[in-house]
């Protein structure tokens, strides 16, 4: 096979049989080959650029993560190109494909399946965050939710809460929060019934309507774990609108450890993720991949930040 044929396939030029192009790209991916962006004159050859793809830059979860990436990249004199799909997860492959020609490596907090990511980036070093990876070539920064969720359950039980519910967000592709909650409560002889878990979107509005549905479906609840702090904020608003006191009538626990929880009254108890550390580890993973190494998955653990939203239920609340 000629060099010209390989070049046309790698650079997506015309006049090449689709099956031939597929086979060339498959081999290139196995060899972790990618076309040199330096040869295309896009940047100076002494510059390393990494692309960071996130869901929504306005989501308060991401600023600390971005800060971690930027700090770690600056220590290496690297440049960071940040892009967002603006909550349109269907745009992820298109965006990855576009960025792949502009950067040396990619880091992404993504919803797309690994196979779709691999097809889009065509052999570029890739680090996925917030989930395990099924693709053997990817770097990984995952989150261990178990310690934080277990600590939250232990804390609520110690406060006297025996009827716990959850507002889940299945579109976030993180089933472990619900799974660990169910396991932890069942282990204490307090299994959560199906009606005590409702699903919604990841937004404040989603949290508002979800808590209203949850309290109708399971009116005896005294504590609720929200999928994240933004959803918990919405639940907070609904609880207040219904005349419920926090934590006397209803204890609330968030997830992510966002600083916005501190401005609530009372402040929100939350399961904390070191988001800055996630960003730092992602850059370290990218560095290994760029050096031709394949690092083991990195994991960020979770812990419980106890604040005032999770005190004991009042005497009039169902327990």
List pLDDT tens digits, range 41-82: 444 456 899 999 999 888 899 999 999 999 999 999 999 999
- Answer yes or no: is pLDDT of 99 > 60: yes
Give 124: exposed, middle or buried? Use CB within 10 Å, 0-12, 13-18, 19+.
buried
- Answer yes or no: is pLDDT of 319 > 60: no
Q: Are residues 257 and 167 in the same domain?
A: yes
Q: Are residues 175 and 86 in the same domain?
A: no
Distance (Å, rounded) from C-alpha 145 to C-alpha 225?
Answer: 13
Q: Are residues 150 and 269 in the same domain?
A: yes
Residue 37 within a domain: no
Residue 184 within a domain: yes
Question: Which of the pair, 24 or 175, is modelled with greater confidence?
Answer: 175
Give 90: exposed, middle or buried? Use CB within 10 Å, 0-12, 13-18, 19+.
exposed
Q: Which two tokens stand for residue 76?
A: 């290496």
Q: Are residues 50 and 120 in the same domain?
A: yes
Residue 168, classed as helix, strand or coil, is: strand
Q: Are residues 268 and 150 in the same domain?
A: yes
Q: Would you state the pLDDT for residue 134?
A: 85
Residue 150 within a domain: yes
Q: Are residues 257 and 150 in the same domain?
A: yes
For 2-18, what is the mean pLDDT? 58
Q: Would you state the pLDDT for residue 18?
A: 75
Look-up of token digits 């169902």: 318
What does the mean pLDDT of the chain come to?
89
Residue 160 within a domain: yes
Give 212: exposed, middle or buried? Use CB within 10 Å, 0-12, 13-18, 19+.
middle
Residue 318 within a domain: no
* pLDDT tens digits, one per residue of 182-204: 999 999 999 999 999 999 999 99
* pLDDT tens digits, one per residue of 34-43: 554 544 444 4
Q: Would you state the pLDDT for residue 174?
A: 87
- Answer yes or no: is pLDDT of 249 > 50: yes
The pTM of this model reads: 0.83
- Answer yes or no: is pLDDT of 4 > 70: no
Distance (Å, rounded) from C-alpha 113 to C-alpha 110?
Answer: 8
- Answer yes or no: is pLDDT of 283 > 60: yes
- Domain that residue 252 falls in: 146-273+305-310
Q: Would you state the pLDDT for residue 314?
A: 72
Q: Are residues 250 and 279 in the same domain?
A: no
For 89-111, what is the mean pLDDT? 93
Q: Would you state the pLDDT for residue 56?
A: 87
Q: Are residues 109 and 220 in the same domain?
A: no
Q: Are 202 and 230 contacting, i.e. CB atoms less than 8 angstroms apart?
A: yes
CATH number at residue 200: 3.40.50.2300
Distance (Å, rounded) from C-alpha 174 to C-alpha 141?
Answer: 14
Q: How many domains does the chain have?
A: 3
Q: Are residues 239 and 252 in the same domain?
A: yes
Q: Are residues 158 and 131 in the same domain?
A: no
Q: Which two tokens stand for residue 97?
A: 């494909």
Residue 319 within a domain: no
Q: Are residues 280 and 139 in the same domain?
A: yes
Q: Are residues 136 and 87 in the same domain?
A: yes
Q: Would you state the pLDDT for residue 42?
A: 46
Residue 172 within a domain: yes
Residue 238 within a domain: yes
The fraction of the chain above a pLDDT of 70, given in percent, is 86
- Answer yes or no: is pLDDT of 236 > 60: yes
Distance (Å, rounded) from C-alpha 262 to C-alpha 257?
Answer: 9
What's the sign of the alpha-carbon dihedral 80, 81, 87, 92?
negative
- Answer yes or no: is pLDDT of 238 > 80: yes
- List the beta bridge partners of residue 269: 253
């Amino acid at each position: 096979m000629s060099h010209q044929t390989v070049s046309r396939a790698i650079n997506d030029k015309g006049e090449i049989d689709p099956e031939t192009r597929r086979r060339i790209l498959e081999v290139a991916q196995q060899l972790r080959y990618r076309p040199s962006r330096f040869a295309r004159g896009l940047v100076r050859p002494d510059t390393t650029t990494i692309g960071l793809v996130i869901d929504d830059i306005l989501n308060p979860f991401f600023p600390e993560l971005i800060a971690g990436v930027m700090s770690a990249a600056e220590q290496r004199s690297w440049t960071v190109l940040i892009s967002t799909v603006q909550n349109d997860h269907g745009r992820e492959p298109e965006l990855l494909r576009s960025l792949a020609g502009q950067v040396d490596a990619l880091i992404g907090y993504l919803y797309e399946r690994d196979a779709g990511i691999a097809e889009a980036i065509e052999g570029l070093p890739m680090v996925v965050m917030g989930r395990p990876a099924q693709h053997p070539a990817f770097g990984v920064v995952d989150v261990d939710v178990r310690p934080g969720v277990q600590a939250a359950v232990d804390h609520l039980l110690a406060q006297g809460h025996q009827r716990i519910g959850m507002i889940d967000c299945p579109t976030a592709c993180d089933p472990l929060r619900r799974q660990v909650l169910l396991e932890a409560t069942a282990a204490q002889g307090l299994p959560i019934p199906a009606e005590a878990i409702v699903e919604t979107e990841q937004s404040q509005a989603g949290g508002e309507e979800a808590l209203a549905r949850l309290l109708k479906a399971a009116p005896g609840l005294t504590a609720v774990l929200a999928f994240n702090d933004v959803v918990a904020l919405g639940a907070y608003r609904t609880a207040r609108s219904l005349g419920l006191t926090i934590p006397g009538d209803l204890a609330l626990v968030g997830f992510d450890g966002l600083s916005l929880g501190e401005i609530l009254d009372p402040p929100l108890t939350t399961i904390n993720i070191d988001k800055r550390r996630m960003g730092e580890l992602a850059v370290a993973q990218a560095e290994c991949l760029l050096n031709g190494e394949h690092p083991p998955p990195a994991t960020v653990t979770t812990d419980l930040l106890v604040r005032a939203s999770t005190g004991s239920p009042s005497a009039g609340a169902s327990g």
